[in-house]
């Protein structure tokens, strides 16, 4: 607790405690932690090699208590991996957890055998090698467990972390960088009095009552009176956030799931559903030294009193600010449906047995639902026939939102996306071009309770060059998939 501010030292000892006598976790008692950046074990001319061990650990999440966690190299959340566009990364993941797992690079354009398909399981004691080409534009991605029917549990226990791709085009912009470029991984958890996770498998949603940022409960961050860039990831299971500042000042969004927007987009509230990312710039020069500003979750947009604190910024010093926020960030070519565009419709609902389904079908690992071809442009319409929100994620490809039915698409959603919020009784249409790799990929709801309870589909991407078919690992064109180690029986 050495980071407690001088002003707080005058408080009685019981007011300094992060955990109240009744077990409630008090906000703003612990400093924000920044996940460390992982170092490769070997650097080659065009590739970096990492070795990671997935293992159990005891992590101090609540002050003074140890929580049993499942981790990448003992970290909760996992360490950040930084990649450079055009430079390949190989990650050798060893499973020392004692339970099966697999790891998906969320938002990555990667060969399917490195995509974390839930059928390609790393059994206890095994090591699996993932190859990430990093040919895509700069973006804030993340990696997480994707094991069939256990994705919710494995992520709750801690199996996730950030993966940031950088490139020269973004480096040339004068955005805040270095220690002024800060990741914020948002999660919610429920704890028992002894500090252990109180996880329960749920069909509809898994929600906690403690907000975590980078694995710390509602922390504070000391900042200078200058601009900061924050890379915000919603890594929660089911909770959607409506981000805002209690000062009423707008958050300036500069990026979404797949990198920078075309131009900065100020917004007083930014919705962020599971797996979505938003990059924002906050200019603390608007506040005098000594100010405290809360990043909050506006639970009910129509009721300001519904706001719950996520973290607090303490403006405690003056500093020069050489960074700037350009009016244009990058060129984004808009995709439009043309003759030849493949149209697909996916209806999202819950069946009479309680399973979450797509077009009336529960997930079946042995079934291929669609077969896109490399080079094709496709427009997908998601229609939500339920009363729940579904953040729909498509593996392999990035997409753009065409429309939200009769509703306006917000400026913060006008960039490249890989996950899209589909509101209750709502409709969203997205467009994408299939590029990169052939093979077997997933599309699914990223409310992990819905994903585990069968709201997933499977696509076999076909076509492309001989090299792309080779990258598919011999799967495309094979008459049988019997050699795949399917371990993917979805339960209710």
- Residues 92, 115 share a domain: yes
Helix (H, G, I), strand (E, B) or coil at 411: helix
- Residues 155, 14 share a domain: yes
Q: What is the pLDDT of residues 432-466, one digit of tens each?
A: 999 999 999 999 999 999 999 999 999 999 997 66
Give the Cβ contact number of residue 326 at 10 Å.
13
Distance, in Å, from the CA atom of 351 to the CA atom of 358, rounded to the nearest integer, reads: 10
Give the Cβ contact number of residue 343 at 10 Å.
11
- Residues 153, 211 share a domain: no
Q: What is the pLDDT of residues 401-441, one digit of tens each?
A: 999 998 899 999 999 999 999 999 999 999 999 999 999 99
Contact 412, 258 (CB under 8 A): no
Q: What is the pLDDT of residues 3-37, one digit of tens each?
A: 333 333 343 444 457 877 777 899 999 999 999 99
Rounded to an integer, the average pLDDT of 343-365 is: 96
Which CATH number characterizes residue 351's domain?
2.60.40.420
Query: Residue 172: inside a domain, yes or no?
Result: no
What is the model's pLDDT at position 365? 87
- Residues 312, 250 share a domain: yes
Query: Residue 488: inside a domain, yes or no?
Result: no
Distance, in Å, from the CA atom of 223 to the CA atom of 116, rounded to the nearest integer, reads: 37
Give the Cβ contact number of residue 361 at 10 Å.
14
Q: Of 317, 334, 358, which marks where a domain is finished?
A: 317
- Residues 161, 24 share a domain: yes
Backbone angles phi, psi at 448, to 5 degrees: -65, -25
How much of the chain, in percent, has pLDDT values that exceed 90?
A: 85
Q: What is the pLDDT of residues 182-237, one digit of tens each?
A: 999 999 999 999 999 999 999 999 999 999 999 999 999 999 999 999 999 999 99
- Residues 202, 142 share a domain: no
Distance, in Å, from the CA atom of 369 to the CA atom of 75, rounded to the nearest integer, reads: 37
- Residues 95, 34 share a domain: yes
Q: Of 143, 167, 191, which marks where a domain is finished?
A: 167
For residue 487, is pLDDT > 60? no
pTM above 0.85, yes or no: yes
Query: Residue 67: inside a domain, yes or no?
Result: yes
Query: Residue 481: inside a domain, yes or no?
Result: no
Query: Residue 491: inside a domain, yes or no?
Result: no
Number of domains in the chain: 3
For the chain, how long is the longest CA-to-CA vector? 73
- Residues 313, 188 share a domain: yes
Contact 121, 102 (CB under 8 A): yes
What is the model's pLDDT at position 46? 92
Tokens of 348: 């999202």
- Residues 98, 40 share a domain: yes
DSSP letter (8 states) at residue 14: H
- Residues 184, 159 share a domain: no
Distance, in Å, from the CA atom of 435 to the CA atom of 468, rounded to the nearest integer, reads: 10
Q: Of 317, 332, 353, which marks where a domain is finished?
A: 317
Distance, in Å, from the CA atom of 400 to the CA atom of 420, rounded to the nearest integer, reads: 9
Q: Beta partners for 224?
A: 317
- Residues 209, 162 share a domain: no
Note down the domain range covering 383. 342-471
Query: Residue 479: inside a domain, yes or no?
Result: no
- Residues 270, 186 share a domain: yes
């Amino acid at each position: 607790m050495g980071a407690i501010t001088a002003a707080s030292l005058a408080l009685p000892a019981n007011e300094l405690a992060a955990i109240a006598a009744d077990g409630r976790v008090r906000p703003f008692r612990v400093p924000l932690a920044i996940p460390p950046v992982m170092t490769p074990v070997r650097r080659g001319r065009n590739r970096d090699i990492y070795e990671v061990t997935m293992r159990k650990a005891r992590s101090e999440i609540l002050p003074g208590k140890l929580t049993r966690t499942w981790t990448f190299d003992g970290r909760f959340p996992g360490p950040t991996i930084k990649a450079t566009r055009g430079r390949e990364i190989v990650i050798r993941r060893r499973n020392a957890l004692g339970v099966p797992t697999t790891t998906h690079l969320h938002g990555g354009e990667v060969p399917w055998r490195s995509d974390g398909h839930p059928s390609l399981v790393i059994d206890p004691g095994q090591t699996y090698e993932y190859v990430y080409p990093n040919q895509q534009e700069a973006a804030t991605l993340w990696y997480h467990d994707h094991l069939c029917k256990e994705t919710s549990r494995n992520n709750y226990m801690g199996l996730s972390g950030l993966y940031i791709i950088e490139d020269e085009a973004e480096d040339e912009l004068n955005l805040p960088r270095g220690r002024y470029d800060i990741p914020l991984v948002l999660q919610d958890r429920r704890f028992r009095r002894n500090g252990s996770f109180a996880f329960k498998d749920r069909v509809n949603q898994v929600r906690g009552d403690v907000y975590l940022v980078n694995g710390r409960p509602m922390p504070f961050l000391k900042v200078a009176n200058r601009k900061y860039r924050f890379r915000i990831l919603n890594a929660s299971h089911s909770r959607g956030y409506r981000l805002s500042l209690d000062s009423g000042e707008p958050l300036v969004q500069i990026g979404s799931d797949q990198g920078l927007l075309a131009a900065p987009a100020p917004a007083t509230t930014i919705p962020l559903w599971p797996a979505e990312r938003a990059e924002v710039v906050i200019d603390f020069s608007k506040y005098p030294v000594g100010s405290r500003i809360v990043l909050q979750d506006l639970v009910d947009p129509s009721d300001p009193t519904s706001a719950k604190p996520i973290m607090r910024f303490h403006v405690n010093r003056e500093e020069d600010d050489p960074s700037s926020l350009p009016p244009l960030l990058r060129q984004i070519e808009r995709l439009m449906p043309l003759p030849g565009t493949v149209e697909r419709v996916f209806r999202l609902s819950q069946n009479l047995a309680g399973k979450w389904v797509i077009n009336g079908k529960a997930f079946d690992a042995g079934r291929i639902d669609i077969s896109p071809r490399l080079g094709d442009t496709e427009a997908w319409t998601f229609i939500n026939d339920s009363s729940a929100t579904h953040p729909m994620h498509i593996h392999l490809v990035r997409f753009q939102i065409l429309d939200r039915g009769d509703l306006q698409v917000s400026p913060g959603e006008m960039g490249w996306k890989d996950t899209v919020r589909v509101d209750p009784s709502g409709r969203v249409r997205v467009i994408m071009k299939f590029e990169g790799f052939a093979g077997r990929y997933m599309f699914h709801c990223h409310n992990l309770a819905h994903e585990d309870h069968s709201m997933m589909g499977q696509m076999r991407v076909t076509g492309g060059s001989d090299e792309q078919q080779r990258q598919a690992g011999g799967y495309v064109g094979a008459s049988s998939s019997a050699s795949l180690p399917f371990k993917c029986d979805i339960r209710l």
